[in-house]
Amino acid sequence: MPRAEVQPEGILVGRVSLEGIEAQLDEVLQQLRRKIRGVRGSVVADSNGLTIASDIRNGVSPATLAAMSTLIAQSAGSVFENIEMPGPNLILMEGPESNVVVMHIPIADVTLLTLMDKSTNIGVLKIEMGRATQGIAMALGFGSSHKAGISELFIMTKGGLLLRHYSDSLRTDVDRDALGGMLVAVQQFVQQTLASKSGALNELKYGSHSIFFFRGVHTVAAAVANEGDAESLQYHVLDALQDFEDRYASTLESWNGDVAAFPGIDDCFEKVVKG
């Protein structure tokens, strides 16, 4: 199969276009570092191991990491080819003090390498690196603009009591009526189904909407999202639930119904809805 060129015709014409692409790539890498705790930096490398973009703050040369990124991806591809299996989407290398993750972007034939602390949440990192690869492909002239997201998020106790509701936009009175019906359905589902059933994810169909449920120890999150987005959102929602329950574990155990007992709840969940 012929390789896609990293610089497709018409994309890098003139200095203005070049600077525009560089700015987009820089923003993608900076977002990755800002969103994930423990990320030390990332590089994008072409098929020759040369640096296309980098966001490395200190320590290691971007050129060295770019060369490593290409070598790791090509070596892993060769291993899987020799055992007649499809190549890996992600390669994780664990060290005593830090980890390295490499993802290949086939459509543009470039690689993304991220250097991170041992404490970094690998599950969340995988999701965010997947999103970053989409942004990189788009900046280089490939890919689509689809973005996973939550339109509504309900945070409840396992008994179905509403703690907080978040929405991605302002709602009209008609929308509020529809949301009221949705909330009733969600609460009944939590009370009747989740209280006695184990497992991390359940789905409820409400009209044309898909509602996915994620459970913590004391709380449940119900997220209205596209079916294809559920798995990619799972780590983010569960991470936010864990953050919330860690902050307010003692309060949740004996909660009296006063939402004012959770002054920092928005810090935990608004970032999930806003993406």
Class of domain 150-274: alpha beta
CA distance 39 to 214: 26
CA distance 265 to 268: 5
Adjacency order of strands within the sheet including 219-225: 162-167, 150-157, 219-225, 209-215, 201-206
Domain with CATH 3.30.450.50 in the chain: 150-274
pLDDT per position as a tens digit, 90-147: 899 998 989 999 998 888 889 999 999 998 888 888 888 888 888 898 888 875 544 4
CA distance 42 to 114: 4
DSSP string covering 131-153, please? HHHHHHHHHTT-S------EEEE
Decide: helix, strand or coil at residue 24.
Answer: helix
Q: What is the DSSP letter of 187?
A: H
Q: How many CB atoms lie within 10 A of CB 76?
A: 17
Is domain 14-139 in CATH 3.40.50.2000, yes or no? no
pLDDT per position as a tens digit, 135-183: 898 888 875 544 457 888 899 988 888 899 988 765 544 466 677 788 8
Domain with CATH 3.30.450.30 in the chain: 14-139
pTM: 0.51
Task: Work out the pLDDT band at 16, boundaries 50, 70, 90.
Answer: very low
| Beta bridge partner(s), residue 166 | 153
